Amino acid sequence: MNRRNFFGVVGGALAAVSLTPSGLFADDYRKLKPKAWTAHKVDEAVKALYGNVELIESDKVKIKVPKVNSNGGAVPVKFSTKIPAKTVALFQDANPEAAVAVYTVTKYDVTDYEVKIKMAENGTVSVVVEGQDGKFYTAKQATEVAAGGCEG
């Protein structure tokens, strides 16, 4: 084996190893907390996911949703937290099921998110951050959906 082939093979293997996250894991909250995904109200979904917790409004949790959306089928939502978190959850109150997503995070994860969600009507989008300190923080923002809801 010549030197270029050797370093090409070894270098490729090292690159593959270095790009593989060692702590990659995901909790399947649909299996772990099924009632959270069928809850019709945000407070019911939060309770099913986390139990009876006090939500603290915090300026370290940010959420940005357009005031008016022309297409309820693709409402852009940006949210982030500066709080060291265990989980970050997204909820909305415009659809029959309130829970949208739950992200399990570590201290090494980036906690800036951008997603598009469906909303059938006007409503409020909420973020709940489970802090590493055991407290729960939240931010909310109301948004309007133009006539037609998810159909646009």
Other Cβ atoms closer than 10 A to 113: 16
Superfamily of domain 23-151: SoxY domain (2.60.40.2470)
Q: Are strands 123-131 and 85-92 parallel, antiparallel or unpaired?
A: antiparallel
CA dihedral 50, 53, 57, 61 (to 10 degrees): -20
Cα three-residue angle 38-43-49, rounded to 5 degrees: 60
What does the block give as tokens for 25? Answer: 């894991």
| pLDDT at position 41 | 96
Mean pLDDT for each consecutive 10-residue tract of the chain (152 residues)? 49 42 55 84 96 97 96 94 96 94 89 93 96 97 80 49
Question: Where are the chain's structural domains?
Answer: 23-151
